[in-house]
């Protein structure tokens, strides 16, 4: 039987940066090493089911819905990487979310909705691959995912580029004092990096920001963060977008005092895995399954809580980091291991 697998990805996943993009790209590379032939789904092509082992849909929801229906109608079975968490994820919010979408589902006009599309995909898929048990249980509740279809497959992390010690920056003064590192979409409201900036200003501790930032946006925290950068250049430093895998980014992970990711939720946050592998202390949200990866080796801070964030930063600066987290990440969360677990699901379609 064929080893060909059809990937369906959302249009935003073609962008060069971000956690989902890295997950798709690195899983593909490792699957190809194992002998699988990966093909991107095309709406203009007719597919014969016997030519393919299965499909793999990356992210449940509206963005991938029509392509998923086309794949299913052509008889190709598929696995679904759900990547599905919405809202603030509190128990009350989840109950409200489910109730509202149950009402929408009964609407005789059959409205097209992100969650309703995800429910149909969960019904059609032959296997579902959430990144954490937290996400799996959320999907059981909100999109009626069948637990019998579910295999939790963790995210992975590249470690080869992080092993060699780096002294890339010409100006090493940045590393003379403790600093908090934030890596990601800096102006993403979900990441709460504006609170990290606020905390560092109050504590008079350096904060280094890496990633995209639209300082002219009228919505979200981008403008507020840009103003802090402009007004406090000695404390708040914005370094722009630094390519993933570069020596400069590796050096920042290796030399930062703490990496902060107090998001509304993370599953689990690739930057946190990378910094943790390098021995950095981590402050991260407890929401989204992060405890499944980081256990008791990091500081957890509830989203939107500024004072606990300040206390966590001070604690991280004063304490010595254990090497347990670095060893566990290097052992358990490689992309080769992710591909092995994914391949076991693919083989269930034979």
Which pLDDT score is estimated for 280? 95
Give the span between the Cα atoms of 8 and 283, in whole angstroms. Answer: 33
H helix or E strand, kind and range, residue 140: helix 133-142
Residue for token pair 């290796």 = 254
Q: List, for residues 179-236, the tens digit of each pLDDT value.
A: 999 999 999 999 999 999 999 999 999 999 999 998 887 778 999 999 999 999 999 9
3-state class (DSSP) for residue 29:
helix
Q: List, for residues 294-317, the tens digit of each pLDDT value.
A: 999 999 999 999 999 999 999 999
pLDDT of residue 171 exceeding 80: no
pLDDT of residue 16 exceeding 50: no
Alpha helices in 206-299 (DSSP H): 222-231, 247-255, 270-277, 290-294
Reading the block at residue 321, the tokens are: 């980091």
CATH class given for the domain over 4-156+334-347: alpha beta
Q: List, for residues 129-151, the tens digit of each pLDDT value.
A: 999 999 999 999 889 999 999 99
Which pLDDT score is estimated for 90? 56
Q: Residue 314 in contact with residue 203, Cβ under 8 Å?
A: yes
Q: Residue 242 in contact with residue 290, Cβ under 8 Å?
A: no
Which pLDDT score is estimated for 65? 94
H helix or E strand, kind and range, residue 315: helix 306-318
Q: Residue 192 in contact with residue 263, Cβ under 8 Å?
A: yes
Q: Which residue spans of the chain are classified as CATH 3.40.50.2000?
A: 4-156+334-347, 160-332
Give the span between the Cα atoms of 71 and 65, in whole angstroms. Answer: 10
Percent of the chain's residues with pLDDT above 70: 88
CATH class given for the domain over 160-332: alpha beta
Predicted model pTM: 0.82
Residues 6+ apart with CB under 8 A from 246: 161
Give the span between the Cα atoms of 9 and 23, in whole angstroms. Answer: 11
Residue 50, classified by CB atoms within 10 Å of its CB into exposed (0-12), middle (13-18) or buried (19+), is exposed
Residue for token pair 């992100």 = 114
Percent of the chain's residues with pLDDT above 90: 72
Give the pLDDT mean for 105-118. 74
Give the span between the Cα atoms of 25 and 17, in whole angstroms. Answer: 10
299: nearest Cα among 334, 328, 275: 275
- pLDDT mean across residues, the chain: 89
Q: What pLDDT band is residue 15 in, cutting at 50, 70 and 90?
A: very low
Q: Residue 290 in contact with residue 268, Cβ under 8 Å?
A: yes
CA distances from 31 to 55, 60, 337 (A): 13, 21, 10
DSSP state of 13: G
Which pLDDT score is estimated for 258? 97
Which pLDDT score is estimated for 40? 95
Length of the chain (residues): 350
H helix or E strand, kind and range, residue 39: strand 37-40
Q: What pLDDT band is residue 168 in, cutting at 50, 70 and 90?
A: low
pLDDT of residue 287 exceeding 50: yes
Give the span between the Cα atoms of 175 and 107, in whole angstroms. Answer: 58
**Range 255-279 burial, b when 16+ CB lie within 10 A, else e:** bbbbbbbbbbbbbbbbbbbbbbbbb
Give the span between the Cα atoms of 59 and 65, in whole angstroms. Answer: 9
CA distances from 52 to 6, 41, 89, 331 (A): 7, 12, 37, 32
Strand pairing partners for 299? 283
Give the pLDDT mean for 67-92. 85
Give the span between the Cα atoms of 263 and 105, in whole angstroms. Answer: 30
């Amino acid at each position: 039987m064929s080893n060909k697998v059809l990937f369906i990805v959302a249009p935003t996943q073609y962008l060069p940066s971000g956690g989902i993009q890295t997950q798709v790209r690195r899983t593909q590379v490792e699957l190809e090493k194992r002998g699988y032939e990966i093909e991107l789904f095309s709406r203009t092509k007719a597919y014969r089911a016997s030519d393919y082992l299965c499909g793999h849909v990356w992210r449940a929801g509206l963005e991938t819905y029509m392509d998923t229906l086309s794949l299913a109608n052509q008889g190709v079975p598929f696995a679904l990487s759900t990547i599905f968490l919405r809202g603030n994820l509190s128990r009350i919010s989840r109950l409200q979310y489910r109730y509202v979408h149950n009402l929408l589902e009964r609407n005789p006009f059959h409205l097209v909705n992100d969650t309703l599309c995800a429910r149909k995909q969960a019904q059609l898929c032959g296997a579902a691959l959430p990144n954490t048990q937290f996400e799996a249980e959320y999907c059981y509740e909100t999109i009626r995912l069948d637990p019998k279809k579910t295999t939790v497959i963790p995210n992975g992390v590249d470690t080869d580029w992080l092993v060699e010690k780096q002294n890339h920056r010409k100006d090493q003064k940045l590393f003379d004092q403790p600093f908090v590192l934030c890596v990601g979409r800096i102006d993403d409201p979900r990441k709460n990096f504006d609170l990290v900036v606020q905390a560092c200003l109050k504590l008079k501790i350096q904060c280094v920001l890496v990633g995209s930032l639209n300082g002219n946006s009228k919505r979200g925290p981008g403008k507020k963060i840009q103003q802090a950068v402009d007004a406090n250049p000695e404390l708040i430093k914005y370094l722009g977008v630094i390519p993933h895998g570069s020596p400069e980014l590796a050096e920042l992970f290796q030399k930062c005092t703490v990496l902060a990711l107090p998001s509304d939720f993370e599953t689990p946050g690739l930057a946190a895995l990378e910094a943790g592998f390098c021995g950095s202390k981590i402050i991260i949200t407890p929401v989204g399954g992060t405890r499944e990866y980081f256990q008791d080796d990091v500081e957890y801070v509830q989203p939107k809580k500024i004072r606990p964030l300040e206390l966590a930063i001070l604690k991280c600066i004063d304490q010595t980091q254990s090497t347990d987290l670095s060893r566990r990440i290097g052992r358990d969360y490689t992309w080769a291991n992710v591909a092995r677990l994914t391949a076991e699901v693919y083989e269930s379609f034979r």
